[in-house]
Amino acid sequence: MTEKLVIIGNGMAPGRMLEHLLEKAPGHYQVTIFNAEPRVNYDRIMLSPVLSGEKDYEQIIIHGDGWYIKHGITLYKGHRIVAIDRDARTVTSDHGVTESYDKLVIATGSVPFIIPVPGNTLPGVITYRDLDDVQAMLLAAQSREKAVVIGGGLLGLEAAAGLAGRGMDVTVLHVMPTLMDRQLDPAAGYLLQKELEGRGIKIVCKANTKAIVGSGKVEGIELDDGRIIPATLVVMAVGIRPSVGLAKEAGLAVNRGIVVDHGMQTSDGSILALGECAEVAGQVYGLVAPLYEMARVAASHLAGDRSAGFVHSDTPTKLKVTGIELFSLGDFADGDDREEIVLRDASAGVYKRLVLKENRIIGTVLYGETSDGAWFNDLKKKAVDIAEMRETLIFGQAYQGGAPLDPMAAVAALPDDAEICGCNGVCKGRIVSTITDKGLTSLDDVRAHTKASASCGSCTGLVEQLMTLTLGESYNPAAVQPMCGCTDLGHDDVRRLIKAKKLKTIPAVMQELEWKTSCGCAKCRPALNYYLVCDWPDEYADDYQSRFINERVHANIQKDGTYSVVPRMWGGVTNAGELRAIADVVDKFEIPLVKVTGGQRIDLLGIEKEDLPAVWADLGKAGFVSGQAYAKGLRTVKTCVGSDWCRFGTQDSTGLGIKIEKFMWGSWTPAKLKLAVSGCPRNCAEATCKDIGVICVDSGFEIHFAGAAGLDIKGTEVLGLVRTEGEAMEHIVALTQMYREQARYLERIYKWAKRIGLEEIRRQIIGDADKRKAYYDRFVFSQKFAQVDPWSERVSGKDKHEFKPMATVGYNQAAE
């Protein structure tokens, strides 16, 4: 007989409970859900990447509308339950909808704590709990003014990083002496503060808020020491409280949370509770791993299995801010009955601390390098006696038993019951057996079948290593992962099918390759635009709608909303006339900062958007074209003065650099492209860390490639030695065209070269003259359609200050 199951709340915990229940007891319940939010179930853990711009809402949806329809679930969106009638076994929403139940699950979550200070209701004061809060912050961030985040815990720091990434001037106020004091010890908190301050975020610890000040809206924060911190936005992220009001009114047992037993049963035999609103064994939880364990237990009980019970386990803490690696677990407080092992590497910004009691790990704090977190977690969970590995323990799993293991061997050495995904409680053995039993070949498949890395994603690297161990060379992460959520195809398949099917427009690609969305997204549209421009340079019309603001105005947007203009200086060479023209522009438009860039050009910063057309018009009169400091294309060719002036110079490096830049200018590439030509092995132009570099020697020109000097630091590889400038030009152009045709969108040359193989590149460019000439000729052909004057015509339409884009500019907002 079908029973009626009503669920109040549609967060991650009840969503996971339903997944388990549909597996254990399909068709047993007629399910109705009331969700106070006007939307489907989404991954709240990933709200921070949405705020920072790394993801959008569609990418964090867990169960779309189709999922509810497929399973016959009735979902009331935007319906807040206002009453539970336990005698009649009904619930009623604020829209007047009443539903009866046989079983009721309360998953009302939590509410953010609002500091009880004057001004806390002023417009501009918000909390950080759901998508509505994120949308409010995104709207406020458009002003690029000042934001204050109250709270230096996980949510507060993620909010601060996201707002700073959106261009706001951010200050974090934290009442304790160090950040994340509940999750990190003071040493790690210090390193975290140093990193965030290095990103431009101001941190004020020991800060006690006295009042939020403003007349009709937020204008600042007053601290109890009298300081006033200006702000147009205040984000409160000082903690949460279980949402228990509804349960309390219904007469259920309530303490801090809704009191439940180890089977998630409330004081009413027909009602269960789970998630942040539930209190089990005197504890309430806010991290997702224990909430998912509650979901598993509740589903088992609803399916008739009363043996399942909730068991507390410590959950690792991780911060979802790109580029910051931290991990904490367990008890790391000081005490006379414990000892510690500490490793510090100041130059690398690494700090590791293990807290031991009776030769067993009871607490772990890792900052800067966290790859051993899963191993330390496993040792702690199993209470392993570490006496025999005491001397090498802090160095991690790879250093146990003698010589260091490589990372892959270390993962292989993990036991089958080692936890890989802390959010979902998935162990190594389950991942490996599922891959093998179900023939899984992609990360998305593993996520779908095991949930490993499906929540915060921090264990993705471990999961991929397990896939590589299990599948061997047949697993290629970049090749099998879809471009985005709009398609199941990877970049390589899309490129191949565009050529094979002769697809020459974005709509044609989406129709023929069965795109899941009508118009694509911010990830796939720029990629498709690049692939089509590359493959059909004489037939494809560059898609204006797939460009970003930097490309449309040929300037880089800055954190304060102004723009930076970089005129091109061929090979870094200029003259008095050009300098006078730049000086005149600076004076005329009162440009606040003029700076020489690392690419031997002059950057004009602080230009208002409405002045850009006039600035470019004046620069254009002097013969300047855009330096394309925003481009996924050729940016600079850095040179030294070479043999004409330098007593060490062996060749005319300046002349060659200018020839290369003028020949290749306007060439779109998968990612930004920087070149350099040094006149001798002293390498003053730093050619050995560029995408392509030339070292001039007595016998000719040594061509280098696949260097990097940004987030990754890598010296170049030697392509080969050629005798003449003409040969150097042919090899460089051919190499660039090979990269353009084979690389994935946003894949830098050094990453492409590693994937393709250095010897294969040398074989085609150095060893095969016919193939090299064919690459060169295709580049020349494409250039006929690439070099378009970037400011000759304005776009008619909504924004009169935006220009028609070049077919050559980049595909991302990233500045030089």
pLDDT tens-digit profile of 19-43? 999 999 999 999 999 999 999 999 9
CB–CB of 375/397 below 8 Å? Answer: yes
- pLDDT surpassing 80 at residue 287: yes
Residue with tokens 């509940």: 182
Query: What per-residue string of b and e applies to 770-780 under the rule 16 or more CB within 10 Å gives b?
Result: eebeebbebbe
Averaged pLDDT of the chain: 87
Residues 644 and 264: their CA atoms lie apart, in Å, by 81
Average pLDDT rounded to a whole number, residues 716-726? 93
- Provide the pLDDT confidence category of residue 122 given band limits of 50, 70 and 90: very high
| Fold of domain 344-479 | Arc Repressor Mutant, subunit A (1.10.10)
Average pLDDT rounded to a whole number, residues 596-622? 92
What pLDDT, on the 0 to 100 scale, is given for residue 280? Answer: 96
H or E element at residue 660: helix 653-664
**If you write DSSP's letter for every residue of 428-441 in order, what string do you get?**
HHHHHHHHHHHT--
Per the structure block, which two tokens stand in for 511? Answer: 């129709």
What pLDDT, on the 0 to 100 scale, is given for residue 800? Answer: 30
Yes or no: domain 125-238 corresponds to CATH 3.50.50.60: yes
H or E element at residue 409: helix 407-413
What pLDDT, on the 0 to 100 scale, is given for residue 815? Answer: 31
CB–CB of 677/684 below 8 Å? Answer: no
Q: Which residue ranges make up the annotated binding site?
A: 640, 646, 680, 684
Question: Half-sphere exposure (CA, 13 Å, Cβ side) for 721?
Answer: 6
Residue with tokens 């707002």: 163
Residue bearing the bigger pLDDT, 153 or 407: 153
What pLDDT, on the 0 to 100 scale, is given for residue 476? Answer: 66
For residue 719, give Cα distances in angstroms to 639, 671, 727.
19, 20, 13
> Which amino acid is residue 396, in one-letter code?
G
- Please state the separation of Cα 676 from the chain's center in Å: 30
Residues 278 and 264: their CA atoms lie apart, in Å, by 8
* Range with lowest mean pLDDT among 157-166, 552-561, 720-729: 552-561
Reference 156, options 186, 192, 121; nearest CA is 192
Four-residue CA torsion sign, 442, 448, 451, 454: positive
What pLDDT, on the 0 to 100 scale, is given for residue 322? Answer: 65
- pLDDT surpassing 90 at residue 586: yes
* Range with lowest mean pLDDT among 398-407, 756-765, 767-776, 796-805: 796-805
| Fold of domain 549-621 | Sulfite Reductase Hemoprotein; domain 2 (3.90.480)
CB–CB of 542/533 below 8 Å? Answer: yes
- pLDDT surpassing 80 at residue 403: no
Q: Which residue ranges make up the annotated binding site for [4Fe-4S] cluster?
A: 640, 646, 680, 684
- Provide the pLDDT confidence category of residue 630 given band limits of 50, 70 and 90: confident
What is this structure's pTM?
0.58
Pairing of strands 563-565, 3-8: unpaired
Average pLDDT rounded to a whole number, residues 201-230? 95
Task: Tally Cβ neighbours within 10 Å of residue 181.
Answer: 16
Pairing of strands 220-223, 228-230: antiparallel
* Range with lowest mean pLDDT among 84-93, 344-353, 729-738: 344-353
- pLDDT surpassing 50 at residue 496: yes
Candidate CATH numbers 3.40.190.10, 3.30.70.1070, 3.30.413.10, 3.90.1490.10; the one for domain 634-783: 3.30.413.10
Residue bearing the bigger pLDDT, 474 or 696: 696
Class in CATH terms, 3-109+242-302: alpha beta
CB–CB of 386/393 below 8 Å? Answer: yes
Assess whether the region 344-479 and the region 549-621 belong to the same CATH fold. no
Share of the chain above pLDDT 90, in %: 55
* Highest mean pLDDT: which range of 398-407, 500-509, 657-666: 657-666
Q: Which residue ranges make up the annotated binding site for siroheme?
A: 684
Reference 800, options 544, 552, 555, 565; nearest CA is 552
Average pLDDT rounded to a whole number, residues 730-743? 95
What pLDDT, on the 0 to 100 scale, is given for residue 768? Answer: 84
- pLDDT surpassing 70 at residue 494: yes
- pLDDT surpassing 90 at residue 785: no
- Provide the pLDDT confidence category of residue 798 given band limits of 50, 70 and 90: very low
- Provide the pLDDT confidence category of residue 57 given band limits of 50, 70 and 90: confident
At 626, is the secondary structure helix, strand, or coil?
Answer: strand
Residues 13 and 297: their CA atoms lie apart, in Å, by 11
> Which amino acid is residue 601, in one-letter code?
R
Residue with tokens 């600079």: 636
Per the structure block, which two tokens stand in for 105? Answer: 């699950």
Q: Name residues whose C-beta falls within 8 Å of residue 665's C-beta, 6 or more positions apart in sequence.
A: 568, 625, 634, 787, 808
- Please state the separation of Cα 596 from the chain's center in Å: 30
What pLDDT, on the 0 to 100 scale, is given for residue 628? Answer: 86
Residues 509 and 391: their CA atoms lie apart, in Å, by 58
Share of the chain above pLDDT 70, in %: 94
The gap between the terminal CA atoms of the chain, to the nearest Å, is 65
- Provide the pLDDT confidence category of residue 804 given band limits of 50, 70 and 90: very low
What pLDDT, on the 0 to 100 scale, is given for residue 788? Answer: 47
Residues 520 and 522: their CA atoms lie apart, in Å, by 7
Which residues is 7 bridged to in the sheet?
Answer: 33, 105
Domain ranges of the chain: 3-109+242-302, 125-238, 344-479, 494-544, 549-621, 634-783
Four-residue CA torsion sign, 523, 526, 529, 535: negative
- Provide the pLDDT confidence category of residue 13 given band limits of 50, 70 and 90: very high
CB–CB of 145/168 below 8 Å? Answer: yes
CB–CB of 626/566 below 8 Å? Answer: yes
Question: Half-sphere exposure (CA, 13 Å, Cβ side) for 709?
Answer: 18
Q: Name residues whose C-beta falls within 8 Å of residue 506's C-beta, 6 or more positions apart in sequence.
A: 520, 525, 528, 529, 532, 543, 546
Reference 483, options 441, 524, 530, 531; nearest CA is 524
Per the structure block, which two tokens stand in for 290? Answer: 């224990």
* Highest mean pLDDT: which range of 479-493, 608-622, 775-789: 608-622
- Provide the pLDDT confidence category of residue 477 given band limits of 50, 70 and 90: low
H or E element at residue 466: helix 460-471
Residues 181 and 345: their CA atoms lie apart, in Å, by 22
Per the structure block, which two tokens stand in for 72? Answer: 């016959």
- pLDDT surpassing 50 at residue 811: no
What pLDDT, on the 0 to 100 scale, is given for residue 757? Answer: 79
What pLDDT, on the 0 to 100 scale, is given for residue 791? Answer: 42
What pLDDT, on the 0 to 100 scale, is given for residue 480? Answer: 56
Residue with tokens 């503060």: 193
